[in-house]
Each structure stands twice: as C-alpha cells, then as structure tokens.
Chain A
Amino acid sequence: MAKLKIEPIKQPNKIINYWKKEKFIVACIVLFGLAFNISTILGPIYQGKLIDSIVGGDSLSSVGILVVTFVALIGMIQFMRYFKRFYIRRFANSTSATMRLMIYNNIMHKSTEELDNENTGNLMTRAISDVDLCVEGMRKFTTEIFDTGVNMAAYLISMFIYDAKITILSCFFIPIAMTLAEKLKSIIYKYSNAYRTKSSYIASMTYDAIENAMLYRANGMEAQNIEKYNVDLEDLQSKAIKANILENSMQPIYNVIAMLGVITVIYLGGTKVIHGRWTVGIFSTYIIMFTAMAIKASKAAKLFNSVQKSQVSWKRIKPYLTEYADKDTALNIDKNKTKLTVESLNFCYPSCKENVIGNISFEGNQGEIVGITGSIASGKSTLGLSLLGLYPYKGSIKIDGKELKDYSEYERSQMISYLGHSPQLLSDTIYNNITLGVEKDIDSVLSDVCFDTDLSAMPNGASTLVGNSGIRLSGGQQARIALARTLLNKSKIIILDDPFSAVDMKTEEEIIKNLKKNYKNNLIILIAHRLTIFNRIDKVLLLHHDKTADYDTHDGLMKRSEIYAAIYNLQCMVGDDDGK
C-alpha cells in the first residue's frame, strides 16, 4: 500500500510544483510510460510474424514457441501499461488531495470579514469542484504526453524503417485531420457554449417556475408560462442538436480523413508483397500500425478540449492556492485573575456605516455574572460579538489592563469562550463536539448544563452522533451541548448570547445555579431578553434604543428604570410563553 501522506506544499499557485512534489510517482510514470509506449510496437510486429509463420508452414513447435513468445510479450507490455495507468491515476489522486487541503487551509484562515461576504461560501464550494476538473485535465495531459507523443513517434519510426516512401505518402493526411480538428475547435466551442448557456437558462427558468409556483398559480400565470417554456425548450433542442452533432459526429469524419492514406498502404504495400520485398506479415503489421495512428489522430480533438477546460478551472482555483497558513500559538495571558474594562465602546459592522452600539462603558471581574439586555435591535448581540475582537472596534476593551486588539487571535481564543445564537454543532459525536479534539473529561461540564440525565437515556452515551447540524437532538439538547463546549475550558471570560431560548425555565434556573457555584474564577457575560433569572445575577447592563445604557444591579434597576421593572414584571407574569 502507498504511503498516505497528505501534506501542504510550497508555492501552490504554480502548477508545475504538483508534479515536482510527487517525484517518485512521476518517475514511475515516466519509466513505465516510456517502456510501455515504445514496446507497444512489438505487438503488431509479432502479430505479423505469426501470420508469416503460417505462410511459411513452420513446424508446430516453432509456431508454438512464437505464440508463447507473443503472449508473453503482450503480457509484459500490458503489465507495464497497468503500472503506467495506475501511477498516473495515483498522481491525480494525491494532487487532488493536496489541492483540496491547500484550499481548505486558505478558507479557514480567511478573516471573518471576508467570510461574512455571503458569496464567499458559494465560490469556495465551486472552487472545490473545479479541483476535480483541473486534476482530470492534468492527468489527461500527462497521459497523452506518452500515449500520443511517445507512442506515435514509436509507430512512425518503425513504419519508416519498414518503408520510408509509403510512410511519408500515407501519413500525409494525418496532420490534416489534426489541424482540421484544432481549427474546428473554436467553432465547436461557440456552439457548445451557446447550448450550455441556454441549458442553464432553462434550469433557472425551471427553478423560477417551481420556486414561485404558488405565486404564479395565485395570479393565474401558469398557462402563459408553459407557452414560454415550450418556446425555450424548442430553442434548447435546436441548440443541443447543433452542438452535439458538431462535438460528437465529427469524429468519424476526422477518422476517414486520417485514414485516407490507407489507399497507398494497401496499394504500394501490396505491390511490395507481390514483388517479394515484404512478407504478408509485414503488410499486416504495417496496416495495424497505420490504423492505430490514424485513430489516435482523430481523437486529438477531444484531448484539446479537455486540456482547455482544465486551464479554465485552474484559473478559477488559483486565487485560493496561497501559502500554507498556521496560527501563532504563543500564549501570554494572566490565568489567575480577570478584569474586563469597556470604555466608550463604539462598534459598526464593516459593511454598514452607522454605529450599531455607541459609547458603552462597563466593567466586570472574575466570579461575576454580568447580564446584558435591551429591546429589539438595541445591539446586545452586537456588543457580545464585539467583545470577541473578531471585528475592528472604536473605544477601548481592556482585559487585565491590556487592550483586546493587542492580544493575538490565538490568545483571545484562549481567554474568551463565546456561544452565539446557533449551537454550531458538527456532524460528529457529542464528545467530539464538546472537546473539539482535546482529550478531557466531560462529566462535570455535562452535569453543569443538566445534560447528564439526557445522556444516560442515550444507548451510546457521549459517543452518540448528533447528525448534520445536530439534527438528531432536540433544540434544547443542542443548546446545552453548545453551552457545555463553551464552559469546558473554563476560559477567563465566558460570553453567552441568549443560550436559554430553547431551554425550559426550570432547567435554566438550574444551570444558572451551577454557573454561580462552579465558575467562581470566571467572568460570565449573559446576554438575554428574558429577564426572569436576572434577579440572581450580579450586575445588569440595560441597552436603550437611543444607544444610551444603564449599568447597575438588578435591584438598582428595578428601582431606577421604570421600563426594566415593567418588563421584568410582565415577563414573570406571561411565563414561558414569550409570544415569539
């Protein structure tokens, strides 16, 4: 079995480097490619000898020896062919893996801003599918250097040795067929492009008809749309016919042109046999070689096309093939005490000019739970996100006296744990989703989030697979797994954005109790719009619509802020139902 090393390469944006990387495989390809394609000429030669042995009436034993030699030779040639084919495919296989790895690495190290751009995701997914096309082209190119280049040269040379005049005369038409194929390429491309464009137009029309089916039906537009669809299908049909005929039906024509020289072969070759200068066997050998060459030539058009396609793909993936990136994992943080100071913080998303939060100041220390709340669109989630330092901000966010933007990305990730609105579960086991690859005991954190009873009901325990995006778990279970992941490292600062919306109130209270008890060395920031548990936390930051904020204890706000008191009382009354 092959060594399975999938590792990054340097200068991945130069296509030649992929051949350089696989030195051993490429050497095998060259060795077996040369050996196979040169020795291939032995097949027709021996086939001719076999015929001559019948003509000559050789003894049965000598015919037998010849047959055995022939079969053995073919066996050897085909054995080399097997290796050539296999190594070329292995080259494609590992190149594809390397390219994918490099693109993945590129994606994962793009900045949050770049990734927020919705289109990026789509483009990258498409880039990955381009890898297949590109590698396919690279493989065909490598193959054809030997199977067309070397092979045709070997045939041509041996035909020359048999008879130079016949060879020149008969091969005259082969380049004509190849030139024609090359010339027609652009016309074929035009037609097949028109067909592909129309075809994707039809696909988008079909999508429109289905996606908006109810809209069209409610407006009685379906009959008219069908009429239009019919016209477009008619057009697609004629374009498809033109493109397909040009693309697939021309090959027999190229073949006939390339084969025109066979007249000279039969006539002049036949005459040579009659005059005793060639044997029947040589005649047969020569015809086989000539036919093989003509067929190769008539297929050249397909080769041109596939190489061209792969160049287009390569251009598309090239921007994603950048040097391999690694995160700097040097760590310089104070693990013993935690102090968060936010001063006149302003924040806006890169795409939007207006500040989402303005002029916020507050402070928190280890062992505290700070609640953040506010009306709809008051910017409470944005505040939570800005404390992560993933986006640029104005004002000051200091952790232990050092500005947040002066910490490295890795240091920030080790100081702060964040849980956003969506649980962001991976399609893996519960254990892996919580630990993310770090061997750790998860019992205590599971009981902190009240998942221990859920877990005991699962036959596979922590090895239970959660499904795509956690689909096999209930919403409340997903939320608690994600919470467990956030709590696992006991980071200095734990930011939880509305973690209890899918959890019932009793569990919510239980979890808050556990947080207070077991996370005395951490600062917990709890963003919520349900205030019923806020009487149990230390301090509350109340954001207003006009971008002002109040920062006080729960009791203080109950006295000071009419709106806070009103909402707290109303929510306690409405209960679990929040009208959403």
Chain B
Amino acid sequence: MMENNLVKRSIINSMKKNISIVLLLIFAILGVVVASLIPPQILKYVIDHNLVPKNEDKLLTLAIAYILVLLFIGIFDFIKEAVLTVLGQKITKEIRLEMIEKLKKINAIFFSSNESGTVVSRFIHDVEAINSLFTNGIVGMMIDCLKIIGIIASIWMFSPKLGMVTFILLPFIYVITRLFQKRMLKAQIKNRILVGKVNNHISESLKNVQMIKSYSKESYMENNYIKYLRENYKTVEKVNFYDSVFPPIIQLTRAIVIGFIVILSSKQLNYLGISLGMVAASIDLMSNLFSPIESLGMELQNIQQAISGIHRVNDFYNEPEDDNKNNELKSDDIISSRDHVKISFHDMSFQYEEGPAILQNISLHLNSQEKVTFVGRTGVGKSTLFRLIMGLLKPSKGSITINGIDVYKIPNTEKRKIFGYVEQNFHIVKGSVADQISLQDKSIIKEQIEKALDFVGLLDYVVSLENGIDTQVNIDAPFSQGQKQLLGIARAIVTNPPILLLDEITANLDSITEEKIVSVLQKASDGHTILSISHRLSSMLISDTIVILENGKIKNSGSPEMLLQNDDWYRNHITLEKMTWS
C-alpha cells in the first residue's frame, strides 16, 4: 500500500463521521438478506400445511404475511439504497475536498507537466469510479456473499444433503460465470481500442479537412472510415455473442439443477427425504442463487477496473508540495514604500526535475521603479523566470529577493499586493466581468474594479453591456482579443501593486490594438517597477534596461542605446522588425 493512501483514509473517515448511517446501512443490509429468505419459507408452509393436507386454516393470514414480508423487503431495500447513496456521496465529497486542498499546496511544476483535462478527470471521473467501487463494488459484494450464505443455509435446514449439493455446485457456477465474464471483458477491451480508432478518424478528418478537400480525397477517407467501422463491427459482434449466449446458458443450468432436485425427491427415490413444500421452496431458492453469483463476478471485475482510478487519485495526492511559507510576512512590511523596491537575483539557477537547466546563474540587481525587458527566442525560460520572481517556483540554486526577503517564502495571499501579473494569454475565469478583475476576491470593492476598468479604457464599453460589470464572460463574448489583454492589465493593477510583470502581452495582436495597449502601459509605468518579456523588440515599452537571454543565461544586458552599439544580433533584428518582416 501507498504511504499516504487518501482513498482508504477518506472512506474510513467518512464512515467514522457518519457512524449512525453506517449502522443503519448494516441493519438494512441484514434486513434485506434475512427478509428475502422468508417468502419461500411461507410458500413451503402453505404447501405443507394447507395445500397438501387440504386445510384452509390461516390461509388468508399467510397470504397477508407474504405480502407484508415483501413490503419489508421493499422498505429495507429502499433504506439500503438510500443510505448507500448518502454514504457514497459523503465519501466523494471528502475525497474531492482533500484533493482541492492538495491542489493549493502542490508544486507549480505539476501544472507544466500535466494537462488540465487529465487532472480534471481525476477529480471527476476517478472519484466517481471510487464511489461506485465502494457502493456497487465492495458493499454490493458483501450483500451478495450474505445472500448466497443465506440461501445455502436455508436449503441446508431443509436437507443437509441438498445443502451439500448446492455448496458443491457453487464454485462450478462461479467458474462458468467468470469464464464468460473474462472473455467478454477481453472482447470489450479490444473493442474499446477500435472505438478509439473510429472516433479518432473523425477528429483527424476534421483537423485535415483542408488537405482532404483540396486533393478531393473525401471518398478515400470515407473508405478508410468504413474499414475501421467494419473492424469495429466484428469485435462488437463478438461481444454480442457472449452477451447473448450467457443468460440462456445460466437458465439452462438452472433447469438442469431443478430437474435434478425433482428426480432426487421423487417418491420412488426419496433420497433427500423432504416434503413437497420444501421441494418447491428449494427450487425457488435455487433460482435465486444465480443472480448474486453473477453479480459477484461483475463486482469483482468492476473493482479491478476501478483500482487504477484509486491509484491515480493516490498518486495525485502524493505529488510533491511547495515548502511552507513564512506566514508572518506581510506585504506592507516587505515593501513599505514604492521608492524602495529592490529586486535581486543571486546567482539563481532553475531546472525541472531531471531535466536540462532552464536558467543558469542569473545574477541581476534591479532598482526601484526600473523598467526592464527580457528578450530572447521562445523557449529560453522567460516565462519560467516570472514564476520564479513571484515565488511560485523554487530555484534549484541561489535565490531571488525583494528588499532582502526571499520571494519563495512570501505567502500566496500577500502576493497580489506586491505583484501585478499580466499573462501572455488572458485566462478567462468562470463568472462575470467584475469577477475577471477581482477573481472574486471579497476584499476588492466595486469602485476599485471600475477604476481599473476606467484606467485601461474599457469602462464605457463594459457599462454599455446589457448587465454592465455583471455580464457573464465566455471565450467568444463579449470581448475581443485586444480587449481581453486590457482586462488582463485591469486585473493586474486593481490592487495597485508596486511591481508589474508583463509576459509577451502584445503577441498575436494587430498593430492598432498593440499601440493602444502600449499606451495604457506607458500610463501605468509611473510609480511601478515593470518587468516585461518580449520577443519582438520594436513593440516593447521604453525600457531602462534590456536583458538578452540565450540558452538560459544572460548573454548581454544594458541600456537600449548601448546594445545597439555593441550587439549584432540586437541590431539586425531591430532593423528587420522595423520593416515589419519577422
């Protein structure tokens, strides 16, 4: 087992917290199992005491008792289902809460090596699978085992010999069942791969539709699709065969067993020595024996499949975490005045686990309100550098400090008052226009949001929307690409932080929008220390210092005028860009 088994712990925790529900569940399960055994007994009694000896005594009472028992079974079953649902949901919630707490502490590197979709599916699908593993799998298995035991015990009470026969029959039925289920699963797995191929062909066709159309290859692609469909058809046919043949075989087995009992209890043989009522009841009980065995196999299979979900959730829970922050640190103590913001890189290096070095031996000392631009080809670790500055990643070597304080130690809740971060692509969060800017931070009031919107020149537009700043935002509406970047700036400056970090914010924009954004930023440059990243040199802000990064190292740095003099790469690219070519 894993050192830190979240799933196991959560299940045990939820059960401890809801001990009364667990007890109710146990009561309901026992109730269902025991009560289900009674109707055949009543029928036996009716046959042996009323029908065979021709005696009307208590027949109506027995009939009413019969339906009452059915009613009880129904009630117990209802309680069992309901309680199991409640418990399953509580476990689901417990696991998800633990996971989201974990998400807060998880190392930032996790997000660069894991796609969001995959992680979401751990939160949603894997946890759901664990829920059904618990409710349908483990608990279901217990119920089925109890049912089987109960049936065998009842038959044993009629006749130990018949009980023995049933007992021997048990593994036999189980083996047949498993044999089918395993073959079926094998066919299903094979089929799932083919379904993947069939579906992939559609997304592939859509992705390459221009090529397909320009070569008139529609029918070629369609024939390939038919080929996949045909393969798929064949495997489904196999699944269907097992699916169709299994229930009939079980029914036939049942018929043979019934025939066997009848022959054994016929007057001539009378091997079992039981009454007619008992024969009828045994036949009834025997018929009930098949379905728990069948579900037992299915449950076992489901558990096997859900195990991988448990592993994934536990693995997530055991991902490395960030070091503890120093919660004593407050933004006001770190930066007491905007005129005193000194950012320093102390021989800092960074690499992802076992990966090549992304940044090496960076040493820089920036003054208060300095404007610095980092340039270089994509993939030289510029964005990583920003995450390091904000203390979201831990340097492998060296450190970054603000006024002598290690940024990695600053608690996340203080960061918004220190840094304003404008990302390369604006990330829309779920919610309204106001939420885009405040991120639903309750300490940010409406006036602040409006001020920020006004600053970037979006207020008039936003007010003109149907619901003003409460208008819901999604990918297509109501903001254009350029307006989204302006929103990003508003989001960064709403708390008026002393340091602004701008990550390639004018990439992918047309020149008019670009000019507008640059002008907004020029306006913001008073009173802020600004660090920006740009791969296009011409569109950057007026900078005091330019830092050229190459292969993770600082290749050259200095004022723009100086670099124009002594750096060939810089000079050539500036010239090409001025002609808007690169």
Which single member of A90, A224, A327 contacts B240 (CB below 8 Å)? Answer: A90
Residue of A nearest to B223 (CB): A437
Given A105-B222, A263-B66, A414-B216; A207-B579 close (CB under 8 Å): no
Nearest Cβ distance between residue A214 and chain B, in whole angstroms?
6
Whether B198 is near chain A, meaning CB under 8 Å from some CB there, is yes
Asked if A217 contacts B392 (CB within 8 A), the reply is: yes
Nearest Cβ distance between residue A57 and chain B, in whole angstroms?
4
Inter-chain CA distance A423–B173, complex, in Å, is 57
Asked if B208 contacts A426 (CB within 8 A), the reply is: yes
Nearest Cβ distance between residue B194 and chain A, in whole angstroms?
12
Asked if A223 contacts B67 (CB within 8 A), the reply is: no
Asked if B230 contacts A4 (CB within 8 A), the reply is: yes
- Contact residues of A between 563 and 580, Cβ < 8 Å to B: 563, 566-567, 570-571, 573-574, 578-580
Nearest Cβ distance between residue B4 and chain A, in whole angstroms?
19
Chain A residues closer than 8 Å to B100, beta-carbon distance = 206, 209, 225-226, 229
Chain B residues closer than 8 Å to A115, beta-carbon distance = 206, 209
Nearest Cβ distance between residue A524 and chain B, in whole angstroms?
16
Chain A residues closer than 8 Å to B324, beta-carbon distance = none
Asked if A245 contacts B81 (CB within 8 A), the reply is: yes
Asked if A271 contacts B56 (CB within 8 A), the reply is: yes
Chain A residues closer than 8 Å to B416, beta-carbon distance = 218-221
Given A63-B263, A220-B412; A327-B216 close (CB under 8 Å): yes
Inter-chain CA distance A174–B212, complex, in Å, is 58
Whether A71 is near chain B, meaning CB under 8 Å from some CB there, is yes
- Contact residues of B between 119 and 177, Cβ < 8 Å to A: 119-120, 123-124
Which single member of B82, B205, B215 contacts A417 (CB below 8 Å)? Answer: B215
Inter-chain CA distance A255–B212, complex, in Å, is 57
Whether B218 is near chain A, meaning CB under 8 Å from some CB there, is yes
Inter-chain CA distance A270–B259, complex, in Å, is 25
Chain B residues closer than 8 Å to A266, beta-carbon distance = 46, 59, 62-63, 66
Given A223-B413, A375-B581, A424-B210; A215-B439 close (CB under 8 Å): yes
The contact string, 1 if C-beta is below 8 Å from chain A, for chain B 232-244, is 1110110011011
- Contact residues of A between 198 and 246, Cβ < 8 Å to B: 202-226, 228-230, 233-234, 236-237, 240-241, 244-245
Asked if B241 contacts A208 (CB within 8 A), the reply is: no
Asked if B430 contacts A54 (CB within 8 A), the reply is: no
Whether B320 is near chain A, meaning CB under 8 Å from some CB there, is no
Chain B residues closer than 8 Å to A511, beta-carbon distance = none
Asked if A579 contacts B225 (CB within 8 A), the reply is: no
Whether A554 is near chain B, meaning CB under 8 Å from some CB there, is no
Residue in B50, B100, B581 with the greatest tally of chain A CB atoms within 10 Å: B581
Inter-chain CA distance A50–B264, complex, in Å, is 12
The stretch that binds B, out of A12-20, A80-88, A304-312, A394-402, is: A80-88
Which single member of B226, B415, B572 contacts A573 (CB below 8 Å)? Answer: B572
Whether A410 is near chain B, meaning CB under 8 Å from some CB there, is yes
Chain A residues closer than 8 Å to B484, beta-carbon distance = none
Chain B residues closer than 8 Å to A280, beta-carbon distance = 47, 51-52, 276, 280
Given A211-B427, A220-B414, A245-B81; A93-B237 close (CB under 8 Å): yes
Whether A79 is near chain B, meaning CB under 8 Å from some CB there, is yes
Nearest Cβ distance between residue B233 and chain A, in whole angstroms?
6
Nearest Cβ distance between residue B414 and chain A, in whole angstroms?
7
Which single member of B71, B73, B206, B220 contacts A437 (CB below 8 Å)? Answer: B220
Asked if A263 contacts B67 (CB within 8 A), the reply is: yes
Whether A457 is near chain B, meaning CB under 8 Å from some CB there, is no
Chain A residues closer than 8 Å to B408, beta-carbon distance = none
Given A224-B442, A529-B581, A574-B576; A249-B229 close (CB under 8 Å): no
The stretch that binds A, out of B103-111, B298-306, B366-374, B556-564, is: B103-111
Whether A6 is near chain B, meaning CB under 8 Å from some CB there, is yes
Residue in B70, B108, B577 with the greatest tally of chain A CB atoms within 10 Å: B70
Whether B2 is near chain A, meaning CB under 8 Å from some CB there, is no
Inter-chain CA distance A425–B204, complex, in Å, is 9
Inter-chain CA distance A211–B117, complex, in Å, is 8
Asked if A245 contacts B218 (CB within 8 A), the reply is: no
Whether B526 is near chain A, meaning CB under 8 Å from some CB there, is no
Chain B residues closer than 8 Å to A218, beta-carbon distance = 390, 392, 412, 415-416, 419, 421
Chain A residues closer than 8 Å to B89, beta-carbon distance = 236-237, 240-241, 244
Whether A518 is near chain B, meaning CB under 8 Å from some CB there, is no
Residue of A nearest to B235 (CB): A93
Inter-chain CA distance A69–B151, complex, in Å, is 27
Asked if B214 contacts A418 (CB within 8 A), the reply is: yes
Whether B256 is near chain A, meaning CB under 8 Å from some CB there, is yes
The contact string, 1 if C-beta is below 8 Å from chain B, for chain A 527-571, is 001000000000000000100000000000000000100110011
Inter-chain CA distance A210–B110, complex, in Å, is 11
- A-B contacts, 29 listed (Cβ < 8 Å): A51-B279, A51-B280, A74-B255, A79-B248, A85-B243, A85-B244, A85-B247, A86-B240, A89-B236, A104-B202, A206-B123, A207-B117, A207-B120, A210-B116, A218-B392, A220-B413, A220-B414, A226-B97, A229-B97, A233-B96, A252-B77, A267-B59, A273-B54, A376-B580, A413-B216, A425-B208, A427-B200, A427-B204, A437-B220
Known: A375-B580, A427-B200, A578-B582. 9 other contacts (CB 8 A): A54-B265, A64-B263, A85-B240, A93-B236, A256-B73, A263-B66, A274-B55, A570-B576, A580-B378
Measured CB to CB, the residues of A under 8 A from B are 2, 4, 6, 43, 47, 50-51, 53-55, 57-60, 63-64, 66-68, 70-71, 74-75, 78-79, 81-83, 85-86, 89-90, 93-94, 97, 100-101, 104-105, 107-109, 112, 115, 120-121, 124-125, 128, 202-226, 228-230, 233-234, 236-237, 240-241, 244-245, 248-249, 252-253, 255-256, 259-260, 262-267, 270-271, 273-274, 276, 280, 283-284, 287, 326-327, 329, 375-377, 388, 390, 409-410, 413-414, 416-418, 420, 424-427, 436-437, 468-469, 485, 529, 545, 563, 566-567, 570-571, 573-574, 578-580
